[in-house]
Chain A
Amino acid sequence: MTTENIDIKHIARVEGHGSLYVTTKDKELVDVKMSVDEGARLFEAFLKGREFTEVPEIACRICAICSASHRVVSTKAVEKAMGIEVNEDVVDLRRLLVWGEYIESHILHALYLALPDYIGHESVISAAGEYPDVVKIALKLKKLGNDLQILAGGREVHQVTPMVGGFSSYPTKDRLRELKQEILDAREDLQTCVDLWATLEEPKFERETDYLAIRRDDEYALVDGDLATLDGLRAPVEDYKEHIQERVPDYSYAKAGIRNSHGFFVGALARLNINEDHLLPFARSALETLEIDLPSYNTFLNNAAQLVETAQVFEMAENTIDKLLASDMEWYEPEVAPRAGTGTHITEAPRGTLVHSYEFDEDGLLTYADIITPTAMNYTNLEEDVRELYPSINHQDRSGIEFMLNRLIRAYDPCISCSCHLSTVE
Chain B
Amino acid sequence: MMSDNGKPKVGIFGLTGCAGCQLNILNIEDHLLDILGLVDITTWVMAKQENSDGPWDIAFIEGSVAKESEVERVKKIRENSDVLIAIGACATHGGVPAIRNMRDIEEMKGTVYGAQTSHLDVIPIKPVSHYVDVDAELPGCPMDKMEFVRAVMALAMKKTPQIPNYSVCYECRVNENPCLLDEGKFCMGPVTQAGCDSLCPSYGAACEGCRGPIAQVNWGAEVKILKEMGATADQIRRKFLKYCPSTADMEEFQELTL
Contact = CB atoms under 8 A, between A and B. Distances in A.
Interface of A: 10, 12-17, 38-46, 48, 50-51, 54, 57-58, 61-65, 67, 108, 112-113, 116, 122-126, 128, 135, 139-140, 142-143, 146, 154-158, 160-161, 163, 168-169, 248, 250-253, 255, 406, 417, 421-425
A125 B15 CA distance: 22
A266 to B, nearest CB: 20
Contact of A15 (B19, B30, B36, B97): B19
A128 B204 contact: no
Interface in B49-65: 49-51, 63-64
Nearest to B207: A160
Chain B CB within 10 Å, residue with most, of A15, A61, A248, A422: A61
Interface in B104-160: 107-109, 111-116, 118-122, 125, 141-142
A156 B24 CA distance: 8
Given A41-B97, A424-B114, A63 B19 contact: yes
Interface centre among A42, A108, A140, A253 (most CB of B within 10 A): A42
Contact of B45 (A10, A128, A160, A423): A10
Contact of A422 (B19, B112, B122): B112
Nearest to A43: B97
B205 A13 contact: no
A61 B18 contact: yes
Nearest to A147: B29
A13 B23 CA distance: 12
A112 B26 contact: yes
B206 to A, nearest CB: 8
Given A64-B20, A168-B204, 20 more contacts: A13-B45, A39-B64, A43-B97, A45-B108, A46-B100, A46-B103, A54-B242, A67-B18, A67-B20, A122-B48, A123-B44, A123-B48, A123-B50, A125-B48, A135-B33, A142-B29, A248-B113, A250-B118, A422-B113, A424-B112
B199 interface: yes
A157 B111 contact: no
B99 interface: yes
Given A41-B97, A424-B112, A417 B19 contact: yes
Nearest to A124: B47
A64 B66 contact: no
Contacts, number: 186
B48 A12 contact: yes
B66 A46 contact: no
B70 interface: yes
A377 to B, nearest CB: 17
Contacts of B15: 39
Nearest to B18: A64
B17 interface: yes
Contact of A155 (B41, B64, B100, B199): B199
Contacts of A57: 208
A43 B108 CA distance: 9
Contacts of A255: 113
A163 B205 contact: yes
25 contacts: A12-B46, A39-B63, A39-B64, A40-B122, A42-B100, A42-B112, A45-B107, A61-B18, A61-B20, A63-B19, A64-B19, A125-B36, A125-B41, A139-B33, A142-B26, A143-B30, A154-B199, A154-B200, A158-B20, A161-B204, A161-B205, A169-B204, A248-B113, A250-B119, A425-B113
B48 A41 contact: no
Given A15-B19, A65-B23, A67-B20, A251 B51 contact: no
B14 interface: yes
Q: Is the interface of A mostly helix, strand, loop or mixed?
A: loop
Contacts of B45: 10, 12-13, 17
Interface of B: 14-24, 26-27, 29-30, 32-33, 36, 41, 44-51, 63-64, 66-67, 70, 95-97, 99-100, 103, 107-109, 111-116, 118-122, 125, 141-142, 199-200, 203-205, 208, 235, 238, 242
B205 A154 contact: yes
A92 B137 CA distance: 38
Contact of A160 (B19, B44, B64, B199): B199
B20 A157 contact: yes
A65 B19 contact: yes
Given A41-B66, A168-B203, A64 B49 contact: no
B66 to A, nearest CB: 3
A238 to B, nearest CB: 22
Contacts of B125: 39, 41
B108 A62 contact: no
A143 B32 CA distance: 11
Closest 10 CB pairs of A and B: A425-B114, A64-B20, A39-B66, A39-B16, A45-B108, A41-B97, A168-B204, A168-B205, A143-B29, A123-B48
B18 A63 contact: yes
A229 B155 CA distance: 52
Contacts of B122: 39-40, 42
B4 to A, nearest CB: 16
A40 B120 contact: yes
A64 B23 contact: yes
B236 to A, nearest CB: 12
Given A41-B97, A154-B203, A421 B70 contact: no
B33 A123 contact: no
Nearest to B70: A39
A15 B19 CA distance: 7
B20 to A, nearest CB: 3
A58 B242 contact: yes
A250 B116 contact: yes
A16 B51 CA distance: 15
Contact of A45 (B22, B23, B112): B112
Given A39-B70, A62-B18, A157-B142, A123 B100 contact: no
Contact of B46 (A13, A54, A63): A13
Contacts of B64: 39
B109 A16 contact: no
Contacts of B22: 15, 64
